[in-house]
Amino acid sequence: MRASFVFSEVVTGLRRNVTMTIAMILTTAISLAMLGGGLLIAQTVDLTKERYLDDIEVSIFLTDDVSANDESCTEDPCAALRQSLEESDEVETVIYQSRDEAYESFQRIFEEQPELVELARPEALPASLRVRLVDPERADVITEEYEGEAGIAQIQDQGVFLERLIDGLNSFRNITLVGSLALLAAALLLIANMVQISAFTRRTEVGIMRLVGATRWYTQLPFLLEAMVAGVIGAILAAGSLVGLQLFVVDGVLAELREAGIISLPSLLYTVLIVAPVLLVSAMVISAVTGYVTLRMYVRH
C-alpha cells in the first residue's frame, strides 16, 4: 500500500466536494459538541450528588411538648425513637438537637439579620433528631417508617432539595443528548451522501482501478479515509469548542455557584482526557462504519 497515493487521493477528494465536506464537518462537530456537553452535564450531576450526599441529613422535628419538656432526650417518646433509629440498618448516626441548641444555631445562621433573631423565641423552634443515613438516597424509608409516630411533628428530608437540583440538571442533560442524537443522524446521512458523491465523481478512476487489478483496499480506502478525516476534524472542533466554552463561559457564569458550593463542575482535565477522546473515537467509528456500509450498498466492486 502506497501511503502517498492514498493520501493524495484523500486530499483531492475532500477538496473536490468542499461544500459537502464543510457541511459534514460542521454537523459532526455540533452533534459531537452536544454529545460532549451531555457527558459533561452528566459528570456535573455525579460530582454534585457526591458532594451533597455526604452532608445530607433527615431531620425529625419533635412536637412542642417533647421539645419543651425533654431537654436531653432521655425520656420517651424521644429516647425510644432515638434508640429505634440507632438500631436501624439504614442509619449511620443520630444526633439530638435540643430546643436551645436549635436556637443557638438559628442565631448563628441569621447573624446578619438581627431583627429576625430579635423576633425569634426559643419556644418557636422545635428540638430535632438529625439522622445521617448509610445510603442518603433512601431517606423515604425513614420518612415512611416514622411519619406520624408519637412525639414527631414533621420529618424533613434535605435530599428532596438536592433531587430538585439533580432533576433539573438531568433533564438539561437529556435534552442535550436527544439533540445530539438527532444531529448525529443528520451527520450520518451527510457522511453517507458525501461518500456517495465522492464515489460518483470518481467513478472513472475507480473503474480504471478495478480494471487494472487494484484490490478492494486500494479502491475503497480513500473514501473511508476521506469520511474519517472529515469526522476527526469535526471531533477536534467539537472538543476545542467544549474546552473553550468551559474556560471562558461556564467557568465565568457558574463560578459563583461553584464557589458557593452549590454545584461541582468537572475539571478541564476531564474534558481533555475523557470527553475529547470519547468524541474522537466515536467520530472515527461512526464515519468509518457509515462509509463502509455506504460503499457496500452503493458501490459495486
Partner 1 sequence: MIRIEDVTKVYKTSTRPALNNVSFEVDKGEFVFVIGPSGSGKSTFLRLLLREETPTKGKIYISNVDVAKMPRRKVPRLRQTIGCVFQDFRLLSNKTVFENVAFALEVIGKPAHTIRKVVPEVLELVGLDGKSDRMPNELSGGEQQRVAIARAFVNRPLMLLADEPTGNLDPDTSQDIMLLLERINRTGTTVLMATHDHSIVDSMRRRVVELEFGKVIRDDARGVYGVGN
Instruction: Give the footprint of partner 1 on this chain (CB under 8 A).
Output: 1-2, 4-5, 204-205, 207-216, 218-219
What nine digits make up the cell of 230? 472529515
Residue 164 vs 296, nearer CB to partner 1: 296
Q: For the CB of residue 6, give the shortest distance to partner 1 in the complex, in Å.
A: 10
Taking a C-beta distance cutoff of 8 angstroms, is the pair 191, 231 a contact?
A: yes
Residue 212 vs 269, nearer CB to partner 1: 212
Q: For the CB of residue 1, give the shortest distance to partner 1 in the complex, in Å.
A: 6
Residues 253-273: b if buried by 16+ CB within 10 A, e if exposed: eeeeeeeeeebbbbeeebbee
Residue 140 vs 205, nearer CB to partner 1: 205
Residue 19 vs 204, nearer CB to partner 1: 204
Cβ neighbors of 92 (< 8 A, separation 6 or more) are: 132, 133, 134
Q: For the CB of residue 12, give the shortest distance to partner 1 in the complex, in Å.
A: 8
Residue 96 vs 223, nearer CB to partner 1: 223
Whose cell is 457526591? That residue is 50
Q: For the CB of residue 254, give the shortest distance to partner 1 in the complex, in Å.
A: 53
- Whole-angstrom distance, CA of residue 81 vs CA of residue 128: 11
Length of the chain, please? Answer: 301
What nine digits make up the cell of 124? 418557636
- List Cα–Cα distances, 286 to 30, 191, 201, 245, 279, in angstroms: 15, 9, 23, 25, 10
- Whole-angstrom distance, CA of residue 119 vs CA of residue 121: 7
Taking a C-beta distance cutoff of 8 angstroms, is the pair 58, 142 a contact?
A: yes
Residue 1 vs 18, nearer CB to partner 1: 1
- Whole-angstrom distance, CA of residue 154 vs CA of residue 171: 30
Q: For the CB of residue 175, give the shortest distance to partner 1 in the complex, in Å.
A: 47
Amino acid at 87: E
- Whole-angstrom distance, CA of residue 205 vs CA of residue 98: 87
- Whole-angstrom distance, CA of residue 121 vs CA of residue 117: 8
Q: For the CB of residue 13, give the shortest distance to partner 1 in the complex, in Å.
A: 12
Residue 208 vs 262, nearer CB to partner 1: 208
Residue 2 vs 108, nearer CB to partner 1: 2
Q: For the CB of residue 222, give the shortest distance to partner 1 in the complex, in Å.
A: 10
Q: For the CB of residue 17, give the shortest distance to partner 1 in the complex, in Å.
A: 15
